[in-house]
Amino acid sequence: MNDLTDMKQEEAEDTEEGMSRRKFLGVAGAAVGAITVAQITALPLLGKNQAGHGSHGLHKWGMVIDLNTCIGCNYCTYACQAVNNVPDDMQYNNVTTEQTMNGDEYFLARPCLHCENAPCVQVCPVGATFMRDDGIVTMDYDLCIGCRYCEVACPYDARVFNWKENTMTAGSNPNVPNFGYPEVEPRPRGVVEKCTFCEHRIDSGLERGLMPGVDEAATPACVVVCPTNARVFGDLNNPDSPSSQALASHKTPIVLRPELSTQPKVYYIPPADEKEEV
Amino acid sequence: MQQEIHVPKLKLGKRKIDLFPIWIALLFVGLVAGAMGAYQVLTHGLTVTGLSNQVPWGLWIAVDISSIALGGGAFVLGVIVYILKIKRYENIGKLAVLIGFLGYSTAGLVLLFDLGQPLRFWHPVVFWQVHSLLWEITMCVVLYLTVLGLELFPTVTDHAFFQRFPFIPKIAHSIHRFGPVLAVVGLTLSLLHQASLGATYGVLAGRGMLFSATVPVLFVFSAVGGGLSLLFLLSALVFRTMRPGLVSDKVMRELARMAGGMMLLYLYLLLWDWAINFYYSFDAQSSLQLELLKSVSPYLWSFWIGQVLFGALIPGAILLSYRKGGNLRLRLLAAAFAAASVVIMRWNYNFAGSMAYIHYAPFVEQVKLATYSPTWQEYAVATGVVSYWLLGFSLAVRYLPFKSPEHH
């Protein structure tokens, strides 16, 4: 008889313990679930396009570079380094000498192409690289952890890592003042940097009623400095903008590595002999 | 209660020398070297490495993904012990958990130095970017390291030291009751991030020969095969030599056969992956990449000999054929080759796409060569984290019982 009551008591205790454990698991599970739901619902509220699938804003900034007119002077690179406070051994913009199928040499200037389908935006683990509503692919340097996955993912070699401390002052920057004055804060060591289409110029220009691509103060430094006007910039949503006009007036504008479907917003007018072949 | 541990000793004539203190001293030298490299990296930044914008991931990432791959035995044994409830694997499962924990913590440690902003290592946990494979891997690895820590806790508290504080082993073994839950969570997390580590490279459309949908599956299968091979190899030392009787020969043979089967399965998938990339495909850029890699690196050698022939095919067949009365030493050698081949495979994936990279210039297809040679700081940090792995393993194997108290 005694044994039986003992067993019953034990059973009761067991169930009680079981209940409390179940309760604990329930509470813990609910907490984790709540945090997850909160995080996922908060994603669109962050106002950042982290998926990197296209721009949806009023403007869609784009650039057209005419490879027939580029003389390879590298002014675009220097102006970019001056304005964006980029040290001499780092380049957002790149000018290389390439060859056409016929073997003719031409200069290929390459800023960040601001892909509509940007691989670097998709791979960033913290959303530090994101796409603005106007299609500019830009960085939140406070979020970047410096994992460099964006560099691995970028098919255009357009991302540059800040390998060492930026100790440059306006005085020690070789491109200041010949190519402009620093307009952007230097970034800390250990983040990946990129061309922003000079977003600071576009934003402050629009606030002052200027039109990027038309008014120099609101246009990327590389476009303004170009001595042959090989680069034009403007709103691709606006058919009257310089970049839309340039695209409309040429038969065969191209983008780099179209097979990857990254849909760059920087277009190129191919060299004359390539056009004939097409 | 106490399991007797037979310490292997070097016989010099009549004297028997225990090399353990010398070995530990050696590992401390490695740790000091690592600390020196780490100091340089943390004070001067990643400029002290040989990395560049073209080869942003180097030696450390290769160590990182290799150590995670070789920790792959832990989740397999978790499933065998807690879900399939096969009791005879319980003790060997503890070793698998140890190897897993060491592998994952090594990976975390080396990543800390690889990040440009080490103090922001926690950012992915708070700032979610659910489209990124690297985000998913970070979350999985953080959670799985926690699971492994919980699973390892009882094994550590089985040490006689904790008998002075009986409540600690008691807490530890109460975790044991959640074993099946941990095993399911561990299985899910492991499959997710082992596959995603492959997909990290597989989604890189711009990197030509890395762009493949098979990579995630290859990474999972090779992690299981390589992880089990390493477990089998180390079990011979930990159980057969040092703790005879804890793990039966039958279990060892089964483990070897599992590892061998997995390696052959991985090889089968690998050959289809190769065929898709280089035989059925007419992608000029991938072939150009391969040509360039051949010209500057032993890539073909490391692929066909290191990964395929002496990595998966021969060791896989030898391990799979382990029957009663078979030659154990041959199988141990084969297991060492299999584990090494998984490391080679990870290194090939890490470097193939960035050493020979496809150039963006239009009209003429171009592949360019990047150069990368690790600096002494990189070797030092790598030596340091490998020493950490070996130190953790050596101390655990020397002092922990690896035996469930339920058995006595």
Condensed to tens digits (0 to 9), the pLDDT of residues B135-154 reads 999 999 999 999 999 989 88
**What confidence tens digit (pLDDT) does each residue in B76-123 have?**
999 999 889 898 998 999 999 999 999 999 999 999 999 999 999 999
Residues of B in contact with A147 (CB under 8 A): 114-116, 134
Cα distance between residue B115 and residue B119, in whole Å: 9
- Work out the pLDDT band at A63, boundaries 50, 70, 90: very high
Cα distance between residue A20 and residue A35, in whole Å: 22
Question: B181, B182, B156: which is closest to B168 by C-alpha?
Answer: B156
Decide if B284 touches A, using CB distance below 8 A. Answer: no
Residues in chain A: 278
Could you tell me how far CA A147 lies from the centroid of its own chain? 16
Q: Which fold does the domain B9-399 belong to in CATH? A: Formate dehydrogenase/DMSO reductase fold (1.20.1630)
- Work out the pLDDT band at B408, boundaries 50, 70, 90: very low
- Work out the pLDDT band at B270, boundaries 50, 70, 90: very high
Residues of A in contact with B196 (CB under 8 A): none
Tell me the two tokens of residue B222: 């090779």
* Interface residue of A124, A126, A269 to substitute, partner B, most B CBs within 10 Å: A126
Quick one: pLDDT at residue B240? 87
3-class SS at A222? helix
Q: Do B127 and A165 touch (CB under 8 A)?
A: no
Torsion, Cα B283 B286 B288 B291, to 10 degrees, reads -130
Decide if B174 touches A, using CB distance below 8 A. Answer: no
- B133 touches B123 (CB < 8 A): no
Quick one: pLDDT at residue A13? 47
DSSP string, A135-196: S-EEE-TTT-----HHHHH-TT---EE--S-----TTT-TTTTTT----SPPPPTT-EE---
B54 backbone dihedrals φ, ψ, rounded to 5°: -85, -35
Contact residues, A window 55-94, toward B, CB-based 8 Å cutoff: none
Q: Do B129 and A124 touch (CB under 8 A)?
A: yes
Helix pair angle (B215-235, B179-202), 10° resolution: 130
Q: How far is A228 from chain B (nearest CA, A)?
A: 21
Decide if B189 touches A, using CB distance below 8 A. Answer: no
CA quadruple B24, B28, B29, B33: dihedral positive or negative? positive
Q: How far is A18 from chain B (nearest CA, A)?
A: 12
Instruction: Give Cα separations from A49 to A43, A55, A122, A141, B72 (angstroms).
Output: 9, 8, 10, 16, 35
Cα distance between residue B36 and residue B49, in whole Å: 14
DSSP string, B322-342: --TT--HHHHHHHHHHHHHHH
- Residue A212: DSSP 8-state: B
Torsion, Cα B113 B116 B120 B126, to 10 degrees, reads -110
Decide if A227 touches B, using CB distance below 8 A. Answer: no
Decide if B53 touches A, using CB distance below 8 A. Answer: yes
Residue B41 vs residue B10, higher pLDDT: B41
Complex prediction ipTM: 0.90
Cα distance between residue A21 and residue A175, in whole Å: 67
- B3 burial (CB, 10 Å; 0-12 / 13-18 / 19+) is middle
The H or E element containing residue B309 is: none
Q: Do A123 and B360 touch (CB under 8 A)?
A: no
Q: How far is B176 from chain A (nearest CA, A)?
A: 14
3-class SS at A112? coil
In this structure, the strands spanning A61-66 and A266-269 are parallel
Instruction: Give Cα separations from B352 to A152, B292, B371 (angstroms).
Output: 12, 10, 12
Report the share of chain A in percent with pLDDT over 70.
81
Question: A235, A214, A232: which is closest to A223 by C-alpha?
Answer: A232
Mean pLDDT of chain B: 90
Cα distance between residue B201 and residue B218, in whole Å: 12
Residues of B in contact with A164 (CB under 8 A): 44-47
Nearest to A122 among B51, B128, B132 (CB): B132
Quick one: pLDDT at residue A51? 63
Quick one: pLDDT at residue B207? 87
Q: How far is A191 from chain B (nearest CA, A)?
A: 6
**What confidence tens digit (pLDDT) does each residue in A7-58 have?**
455 444 444 444 566 666 777 777 777 777 766 655 544 556 666 667 778 8
Cα distance between residue B181 and residue B176, in whole Å: 10
CA angle B134, B136, B140 (to 5 degrees): 115
- Residue B368: DSSP 8-state: E
A105 backbone dihedrals φ, ψ, rounded to 5°: -85, 145
Quick one: pLDDT at residue A130? 93
Q: Do A146 and B205 touch (CB under 8 A)?
A: no
Nearest to B130 among A43, A52, A144 (CB): A43
